[in-house]
Amino acid sequence: MIYYQHCASRHTLPRDDFSSLLAMESRPVTARYGPDYTPKMVAAIASCSTAIGRLDARFTVSPVAKPWAIRTAWTGYAKALQLQSAEVEEIDVFSWGCGLKVPGRPALPSHLDLFDRFDQWRAALDDPDTLAWRDQLPTAIGEPATAAEHPPLVRALDTVRQLARIDHSIKPWLDLPFALRDRGLAATPLPCLAGGVKAFRFKRTISDEDWHAALRGLEHSVTANLERLHDLERLHRDAQRAIVAEYRPGVLPALAALLHHRPLLSPRSVSELLSMSVAGASKLLTRGVACGLLIEITQRRTWRVFLSTDLAVEFGYAAPKRGRPRNEPPSLPANRGLADVFDAFDQEMANIDELLRRGAGVASAIGRAGDDSIPV
């Protein structure tokens, strides 16, 4: 029997499972369930399954797991909207999530509520009850007895295929992270893995090319979002160095923590979230640019919008750097003073996360000096 047993402690796939999967090449196909297990298909399934386990393992130990999960929820939702044929790009969903209109972007359709499922989906992603998703599956969703002989990744994708056939809303695409978790491929639903292929909805019989397209798209999402996780962790380290380098950091740690969760910011949004004047927020953002944490994407005197540097290239606001990547500065030497600074920054991160989750103002929970203390 083919079974990828996802080990939560190691997040690896046992080698024996891959050898068993290879044996399926010569297995006769009866009722059509899953793809034809050619060597190419077997390699694609093994590669994608391993990539998912690698991302899941990296996410569980990351210091920026919570803000990354928020960002990737916007990424996954954008993918699901595109599968619904909505004319929307990822930056438009980030713009909506951050409550800012990005200059130059077309307005989203006003006659449709594209985001009516988002809050419910986010709540489900955070639900600790691992059986809740399976319990709400329609009774029409099922598997033949032979399904147990197929890889968990195929079974997860086929569940989404069945859902997409009977439910024409965005929900089936949003359910893929839960199906992957349910089949043991990840310890937690990874929101960036929402998706599928349109063939799941519109074709009664899925071709092997459709299966390959689904696997390629899923592995591409894994690879891209693992790289974004690395980039966000690099931004986190850059923020730590910037805070340490400041003689009077003032509200800079609060801005850096906010930037992790809200990569698009404006003076007005910062003033509201950090309970400071618009003028003080504008100076603080300029200071963030000088520290290399932000870039300004508007280049005008009013209605300015800023974007975190880790997403600047992804969203087309900075040219990719050519040549060899720059070496990251060495880690700061460990000492008690730095440990206190980093602990305070981590607390800022936790406070921002909690208050954004509650939708409250940030200033009530972050111990900081007033606007007048910000050096400009």
- The pLDDT value given to residue 152: 97
pLDDT for position 8:
36
H/E run at residue 296: strand 294-296
In the block, tokens 């071709």 appear at 207
Q: Which amino acid is at 365?
A: A
Q: Which two tokens stand for residue 41?
A: 């298909």
In contact, 289 and 306? CB cutoff 8 Å: yes
Residues 161-182 pLDDT 10s: 999 999 999 999 999 999 999 9
Buried/exposed 94-117: b ≥16 CB within 10 Å, e otherwise: bbbbbebbbeeeeebeeeeebeeb
- pLDDT band for position 86 (cuts 50, 70, 90): very high
DSSP string for 16-74: HHHHHHHGGGGSPP-S--S----HHHHHHHHHHHHHHHHHHHHHHT-TTHHHHHHHHHH
Neighbours of 278 (CB within 10 A): 14
pLDDT of residue 12: 42
Per-residue confidence (pLDDT) for residue 330, from 0 to 100: 66
Amino acid symbol at 321: K
Query: Residue 287's pLDDT is what?
Result: 94
**Is residue 18's pLDDT more than 90?**
no
Which of 2-11, 158-167, 261-270, 273-282 is the least confident region?
Answer: 2-11
Q: Mean pLDDT highest for which of 27-31, 136-140, 320-324, 371-375?
A: 136-140
> How does the average pLDDT of the chain come out, rounded?
84
Distances from the Cα of 325 to the Cα of 231, 254, 321, 322, 328, angstroms: 13, 29, 7, 8, 9
Q: Which of 196-205, 313-322, 332-341 shows the lowest mean pLDDT across its residues?
A: 332-341
Largest interatomic CA distance in the chain: 75
Q: Alpha-carbon distance 340 to 248, whole Å?
A: 15
The kind and range of the H/E element at 308 are strand 306-308
Helices (H), the chain: 15-22, 39-60, 65-83, 90-98, 118-126, 132-135, 152-166, 171-174, 176-182, 199-202, 208-245, 252-261, 267-273, 278-290, 336-358
C-alpha–C-alpha distance, residues 189 and 193, integer Å: 8
Tokens in use for 157? Answer: 């994708």
For residue 335, what pLDDT band results from cuts at 50, 70 and 90?
low
39-60 vs 65-83: helix crossing angle, rounded to 10: 140
Distance CA 18, CA 126 (A): 32
C-beta separation of 81 from 113 below 8 A: no
Q: 240-261, pLDDT tens digit by residue?
A: 889 888 877 788 999 999 999 9
pLDDT score at 333? 64
Q: In this predicted structure, which of 138-142, 150-154, 192-196 has the lowest mean pLDDT?
A: 138-142
- Rama region for 215: left / alpha / beta (φ>0; ψ in -120 to 50; rest): alpha
- Residue predicted with more confidence, 203 or 301: 203
- Of the pLDDT bands very low, low, confident and very high (cuts 50, 70, 90), residue 264 is very high
Report pTM: 0.83
